[in-house]
Structure 1
Amino acid sequence: MWDRLIRPIDPWLLLFTTLVLILSTILLFSASNRDLDMIINKITFMCIALTVMWLVANTSQQTLIRLAVPAYVVGLLLLIAVALFGDISHGARRWLHIGVTKIQPSELMKLALPMMLAWYFHHFETSIRWKHYLFAAILMIVPVGLIMKQPDLGTSLLIASSGFYVLFFAGLSWKFIGLLGALGGGLAYVVTHWNSCINILHEYQCRRVATMLDPMQDPLGAGYHIIQGTIAIGSGGIFGKGWLNGTQTHLDFIPERTTDFIFAVFGEEFGLLGNAILLILYLLLIGRGLIIANNASTLFGRLLAGAITLTFFTYAFVNMGMVSGILPVVGIPLPLVSYGGTSMVSLLTGFGLLMSVQGDRKLMKS
C-alpha cells in the first residue's frame, strides 16, 4: 500500500518543491511582521496544494488526454461568464461567484490551455502542418484576449507563454519564432511611446511601462514600487541584513511585500547569497521538469511537461525582473514563495501533471 502511495511521486521534484516552500514560510513570517494567521493560512493551502499534486500525479496520461478538451471548454465558458457577470474590484472584472465562493477562471486556463494544445498536437502527431499551428494559435488567442479584457496583463502573458511553449516544443519553425520576436520588439517600441500606448493598452499599463524606463518621473506614484524594490535588494548586499532585520521591510517602505514584491524582502534580509540559493532551487526544479519532458513516453506528455516547466520559469523570471526594475510591474507573484493560495494550488497541480508524465514512463518501462 505504501509503495502505491509514493510510486507516482517524483522524489527530486518533491524535494526541491518542499525546500522552496519551507524557505517561503520562513520569509513570510518576516514579510508579514510575524502574522501567525497568514502563516497558518499558507500552511493550510500548502497541505491542500500538495494533496492536489498527489491526486493529479496518480492520474494516468490517458485520463489527462481525455480531460484536456473538457477542461479547456469549461475554462473558456467560465471566462465568458466573467466577462458577462463577473465581480468588478479595483477596476478589473476577474472573479466569478460560484455558489458560496468566488473563483478566478484564469487560474484554470493556466493549465487547461497547454493541456488542450498538447492534446491537439498529439492528435495530429504524424501529420503536423502549418494549418495546425494556425488553429492552435486561435485556441490560444481567444482565452488570452478574454483575460486581457478583464484587464489582467500579467496572467494573460503567462497563459500566452504557456501556449507558445507548446507550439515551440511541437516544432514551430525558428524562422517564424524570429519573426514573432521582431514583431514583439516593434510592438514594445510602440507601446513605450505614450500616444501609441494608450491605443493598445490600458492607461495604467502604459504608465507601468513608462515608469520602468524611468521610475523617477513619478517616484511617489507609479514608480514607487520599483524604486523601493531596488533599494531593498541593493541594501541587502552580499549577506543581507538578517532574518527579521530588514529596515525597508519593517518600516513599511516595500509595497505588496507578502505577494508581488516578496523577492525584495528576500534580497534585503538574505542578500546576494540568499538570492543565489533561491535561484539554484528554481533552476533545479526547472531542470528536473525539462528532464521529465525529454523522457516522456508520448508527444502529449512531452509538450505538456515542457510547457509547464517553462511557464514556471516565466513566473520566476518576470517577477524577479519587475522587482529588480528591468521589467514592468505586471502583478505576477514569485512562484511558490508569494502569499496566495490559488496560485500555489495551480502551480503544484502543474507539478502533479509533471509527476503523472514521469509516472507513465515508469509504467511503460515495467
Structure 2
Amino acid sequence: MEKRSLIKRLRFLWVGLDPNLSFILLALVIVGNVTFLSASSGTVITWVEQSRNLLMAIVIMWFTSRIPVKWLEKASLWIYLIGLSLLIAVAFVGLIKKGARRWLNIGVVIQPSEIMKIAMPMMLSWYFYKREENTKLWDFGFAFILLLLPTVLIARQPDLGTSILVFAAGFYVILLAGFPWKFVLPFVGIGLIGILLMLIFGDSICAQGVTWPILKSYQQHRVCTLLDPTTDPLGKGFHTIQSMIAIGSGGFLGKGWMKGTQTHLDFIPEKHTDFIFAVYSEEFGLVGNFILLFLFLLLIQRGLHIAASASNLYTRLLGGSVTLIFFTYAFVNMAMVSGLLPVVGVPLPFISYGGTALATLGLGAGILMSIHRHRRLVQT
C-alpha cells in the first residue's frame, strides 16, 4: 500500500509526457553517458558535471512541457525581440574569448545566440500563424528578413556553427509554411554546381594559395582542409584525420567500451564535445553506429508525428522545425566528424558534453512534449 501510495504521489512527474519520445530520449542519454564516461577517461568529476547538465536539461524539458502552447505563442514575439536585442548588445559590448565576441555579462555570462535557436522558429511560426488565412509571397520575403537579422549578427561574432543552426531552424519554418519550391530549387542547383566545381578545382586552388574572394581566410582553410586534410596533418587537418582514423579503426563491432586506442591515447581532439561521435564509433563500430542512427531516426519520426497531429498551424510549424533542428544537429556533427563537412562547433544531441547546448535541446524537447500534452482532437 505504501509503495502504491508513493507511486501515486509521484505520478505527476510523468503524466502528460509523451512515453515514446521519453523512451527515445532516455536511450540517447544512456548512450551519451556511457560514451562520455569513456571519452573523459573515467574522470568521475567530469562525468558528474555532464550528469548535472543532463539533469538541468531534463528539468527544463519537464517545466516546458507544462507550459500551455498558447503561452508559448503569446511569448514568441517578445522572446525573439529580447534575443535580437541581446545579439546587438554583444556586437558592441560583448566579451571576447579566443578571438570571438559571443558572450554578454549581465550579472551572469550568457551566450545570446543560443536563445535564437528556439526563438527563431517560435517567432516565424507565430508570424505565419497570424497570416494563415491570407499568406502572400511578400510575407515570405519579410520572414527571410526576420531570419537573416540574427543569422548575420551571429555569423559576424564569428560563430559559423550556431549561425547555420539558427538559419536552418528558421528556414524549416518557412518551407513548412508553404514557401514555393520553384524559388528554392535554383539555389539548390547553384549550390550543387558550386560543390562540383570545388571538388574538381578546389585542390589546385588550395595548392596554389589563391585567395577566394567570397571566403575569409579561416573559412578557406576549413574548405581546403575538408578537400585534403593531409596538406596540414599536424595543424588544420589534425582533427579530421584523427577522427576518421578512429571511425575506421572501430570496424564492424568496435574495439569495446573503454578500449579505444585513439581515444585513450588522446589522439582525438575535443573528444568529449564536438568529436564524441569518433569515440563512440571506435568503441562500438558500425553496428553501434546503426543503433545510434536508428535512435535519431526514431526521435525525428516521433517529433514529426507530434507536429503533424498538433492542433493549429503555430504548433505544427513549431513542432516540425524543432524536430528538424535535432536532425540538423545530428547530421552536421556526424558529417563533420566523418570528414564530409568542414569542422564547425556543432555538438551531437544528448551525447556531447555541454551546458548551454543541452539546455537548448531540453527546451526543444519540452516544446514537443507541450505540443503533445495540449493537443486537441481536430475534425478531419
TM-score, normalised on structure 1? 0.95
Structure 1 position 174 matched with structure 2 position 188: no
Task: Return the index of the structure with the highest Cα Rg.
Answer: 2
Segment drifting more, 203-212 vs 299-308: 203-212
Please provide the CA RMSD for this pair.
Answer: 1.8
Whole-Å Cα distance in 1 between the matches of residues 44 and 106 of structure 2?
A: 29
Helix, strand or coil at the partner of 1:220: coil
For the 8 Å contact 2:125–2:318, the answer to whether it is kept is: yes
- Displacement of 1:185: 3.6
Q: Which runs of 5+ in 2 are unaligned?
A: 1-8
1:161 counterpart residue number:
168
8 Å contact kept, 1:190–1:197 = no
SS at match of 2:344: coil
- Give me the whole-angstrom Cα distance separating, in 1, the residues matched to 2:143 and 2:193: 24
Change (3 A) 1:35 1:277: same
In the other structure, the counterpart of 1:47 is 55
Distance 1:153 1:183 in 2: 21
How many Å separate the matches in 2 of 1:300 and 1:3? 30
Q: Distance in 2 between matches of 1:70 and 1:91?
A: 31
The counterpart of 1:150, out of the listed 145, 153, 157, is 157
Q: 1:22: which partner in 2?
A: 30
Alpha-carbon distance between aligned partners in 2 of 1:359 and 1:197, rounded to the nearest angstrom: 53
Q: Give the secondary-structure state (helix, strand or coil) at the position aligned to 1:94.
A: strand
How far off is 1:202 after superposition? 2.8
When structure 1 is superposed on structure 2, of 114-123 and 79-88 the one drifting more is: 79-88
Structure 2 CA distance for partners of 1:14 and 1:205, relative to 1, 3 Å: same
Shift of 1:187: 5.5
Give the CA deviation at 1:90.
Answer: 1.0
In structure 1, distance between residues paired with 2:59 and 2:72: 18
- Deviation digits for residues 280-302 of structure 1 (CA, Å, limit 9, x no counterpart): 11111000000011111110000
Counterpart residue number, 2:18 = 10
Q: Give me the TM-score of the superposition, normalised by structure 2.
A: 0.92
Contact 2:310–2:376 (8 Å) recurs in 1: no
> SS in structure 2 opposite 1:117?
helix
Q: 1:323 to 1:58 in 2, by over 3 A?
A: same
Query: Which of 279, 283, 287 is residue 265 of structure 1 equivalent to?
Result: 279
Match of 2:68 in 1: 60
- Hey, what's the Cα distance between the residues in 2 that align with 1:197 and 1:80? 31
**Deviating 4+ runs (over 2 angstroms):** 1-8, 182-202, 362-365
Determine helix, strand or coil for the equivalent of 1:201. Answer: coil
TM-fit CA distance, 1:184: 3.2
Aligned match of 2:369 in 355, 359, 363?
A: 355
* Aligned position for 1:115: 122
Cα distance between partner residues in 2 of 1:73 and 1:187: 35
One-letter code aligned to 1:20: L
Q: Does 1:214 align with 2:228?
A: yes
Q: Which secondary structure state, in structure 2, belongs to the residue aligned with residue 88 of structure 1?
A: strand
Counterpart secondary structure, 1:242 = coil
Preserved contact between residue 46 and residue 344 of structure 1 (Cα < 8 Å)? yes
Aligned partner of residue 76 in structure 1, secondary structure = helix
SS at structure 2 position matched to 1:361 = coil
Count how many residue pairs are aligned between Structure 1 and Structure 2: 364
2:6 corresponds in structure 1 to none
